Amino acid sequence: MVYIIKVSDIESALSELSTLSHNNKRAKIMAGATDIFLLIKNKIIDADVLVDISDITELKSIKIENDMIKLGSLVTFSEILESDIIKKYAPALYKAAENMGSPQIRNRATIGGNVCHGSPSADGAIALIALEAKAIIKSPKSQKTIDINDIFLYSKQNRLKHDEILTEFIFPACYTNTYTEFKKIGKRNALSIAVVSAAVKVGVENGIIKKIVIAVGAVAPQPLRLKDLEIGIIGKKLTDDVINKISLRAKYFISPITDIRASADYRREITGIILKDCLNSIKKNYSWSFRDKNGNGEYNTQNQ
Amino acid sequence: MVMENITLKINNQQYKVRTEPDKPLLRVLRELGFKGVKEGCGTGECGACSIIFDKKIVCSCLIPVKSAEGHDIITIEGINNNGKLHPIQEAFIEAGAVQCGFCSPGFILSAYVLLEKNPNPTDQELKEAVSGNLCRCTGYTKIVEAIRIAAEKMQKAKKVGDN
């Protein structure tokens, strides 16, 4: 049996975690509980105490400040879908939320929990990697900002210490000229854990790729940024040829396994295809129109 | 095993229970007599245990009872009007959308939450609203029809009420 301690602010949460750690009690943080409660029920993980932080309202905000989106770690996937800020300026995350779980799950599951659980197929995590998110981690004595990729260890472990809480994600808002896409292949339309997923962010100016960030899900022991695949793409034009090359090279940078959902071979092939789909979608959006942040510009119907 | 005193607000009434704090809310609700809340999969994937929690549809199998303290719970038993069936319940019967009935409470509550917020949903919105509920009997067609019929009933009732 596990004890449950409810806290209503960050200081109390940190204080509880500290005290429990001090007293050699194994404590875990619980937010929406959709992942952790099952792990506890099925005795996959052990804990003495669950610290229920779901009532901490200060971690539930979504703001945009100085062109940076600040996303509280306790924002639920449903709340992400109610956010105009996310819909307009972080479309990949919005799309990931649309494709995650079910209404019942989305009403409880938090973006922070999704990242901290760190499943290789975590939809929110994949989108946030592509959005180049950083995470703010608070502990009783300090606060630090780390790259989201540094949170994950393999096999659903994370690097957070016993007395640390992830409070917020920060990432650049995607204005025009920056395109994002998220795609997921699963075995059904809802409540579907990704067989393969991908999120891509591309910054394009005058047809030239200024920035590219690629994240893939369910093809490695943790949510994965494919930095090696991004190399050499900056400065190239967003053409079918470049997209094909990225798609063909993807399989060399992933390490999929065979499990109950799909074979490693299938995942290896599909990763390239799903990336191609993402990039083609971005290329199509780019071709329809481009305008700079001030709203000036013209419609460009040419692809090259 | 340690027992705690926990107070729950269910269907607008207070209930005091003494139980393990990490017991799933689903079990506690059934022990309190709310047998309309069904245990299907126990892992949040079938929606049979759906309840309305602070006006949102959730799976009660995924909520430890201690965490439910201080929140507003509505079960299927809570939507009728002094014994008169809710229009959604009526519609499910009229449309033939109930076979074994095991999934029905979950579907009806998902539809309830949808129609409260969105009285005239598109087909897409309707299907998404119940995408967390599984049915092994009906093939879903009559369930979707039932929710459509319910939406119309509720719109009509509202017009009559407004006049």
Mean pLDDT of chain B: 97
Tell me what pLDDT residue A133 has: 98
pLDDT tens for each residue of B44-98: 999 999 999 999 999 999 999 999 999 999 999 999 999 999 999 999 999 999 9
Q: Fill in the DSSP letter of residue A237.
A: B
Tell me what pLDDT residue A176 has: 86
Separation between Cα atoms, residue A278 and residue A261, nearest integer Å: 22
Tell me what pLDDT residue A295 has: 42
Separation between Cα atoms, residue A54 and residue A49, nearest integer Å: 15
User: Which residues from chain A sit within 8 angstroms of residue B62, using beta carbons?
Assistant: 33-34, 37-38, 105, 108
Q: How many CB pairs under 8 A join A and B?
A: 83
* Closest residue, chain B, to A1 (C-alpha): B1
For the segment A25-53, the average pLDDT, to the nearest whole number, is 96
User: Which residues from chain B sit within 8 angstroms of residue A3, using beta carbons?
Assistant: 2, 21-22
Separation between Cα atoms, residue B120 and residue B116, nearest integer Å: 10
pLDDT tens for each residue of A164-220: 999 999 999 999 899 999 999 999 889 999 999 999 999 998 889 999 999 999 999
Residues 6+ apart with CB under 8 A from A89: A64, A69, A173, A174, A175
For the segment B4-31, the average pLDDT, to the nearest whole number, is 98
pLDDT tens for each residue of A140-161: 999 999 999 999 998 888 999 9
* Closest residue, chain A, to B1 (C-alpha): A1
Tell me what pLDDT residue B158 has: 87
Structure token pair of residue A20: 């429990």
pLDDT tens for each residue of B110-149: 999 999 999 999 999 999 999 999 999 999 999 999 999 9
pLDDT tens for each residue of B1-13: 799 999 999 999 9
Q: Fill in the DSSP letter of residue A153.
A: E
Output phi, psi for A3, to 5 deg: -80, 155
Q: Fill in the DSSP letter of residue A56.
A: -
Find the helix packing angle between A240-249 and A264-288, rounded to 10°: 160
Give the minimum alpha-carbon distance from B160 to chain A in angstroms, rounded to a whole number: 31
Q: Fill in the DSSP letter of residue A192.
A: -
**β-strand pairing of A68-72 with A62-65:** antiparallel
Residues 6+ apart with CB under 8 A from A304: A207, A237, A239
Tell me what pLDDT residue A288 has: 65
Give the minimum alpha-carbon distance from B46 to chain A in angstroms, rounded to a whole number: 9
Interchain CB distance below 8 Å, A33 and B62: yes
Task: Find the DSSP H helices in A182-263.
Answer: 227-230, 240-249
Contact call for residues A105 and A99 (beta carbons, < 8 A): no
Structure token pair of residue B52: 């309305």
Residues 6+ apart with CB under 8 A from B163: none
Asked if this assembly's ipTM is beyond 0.90, the reply is yes
**What percent of chain A is predicted at pLDDT more than 70?**
94
pLDDT tens for each residue of A56-87: 999 999 999 999 999 999 999 999 999 999 99
Residues 6+ apart with CB under 8 A from A190: A101, A102, B128, B131, B132
Tell me what pLDDT residue A156 has: 87
Pick the closest to residue B62 from B75, B80, B49 (CA basis): B49
Separation between Cα atoms, residue B20 and residue A1, nearest integer Å: 7
Residues 6+ apart with CB under 8 A from A32: A54, A76, A108, A109, A110, A113
Find the helix packing angle between A91-98 and A123-130, rounded to 10°: 170
Tell me what pLDDT residue A293 has: 42
Could you tell me which residues of chain A have a Cβ less than 8 Å from any Cβ in chain B? 1-4, 6, 30, 33-34, 37-38, 40-41, 50, 52, 54-55, 78, 101-105, 107-108, 189-191
Residue A172: beta bridge partners?
A68
pLDDT tens for each residue of A282-297: 999 887 654 444 444 4
Could you tell me which residues of chain B have a Cβ less than 8 Å from any Cβ in chain A? 1-2, 20-22, 24, 42-45, 47, 50, 53, 56-59, 62-64, 66-67, 69-70, 110, 113, 128-129, 131-132
The whole-model pTM stands at 0.94
Structure token pair of residue B120: 């005239």
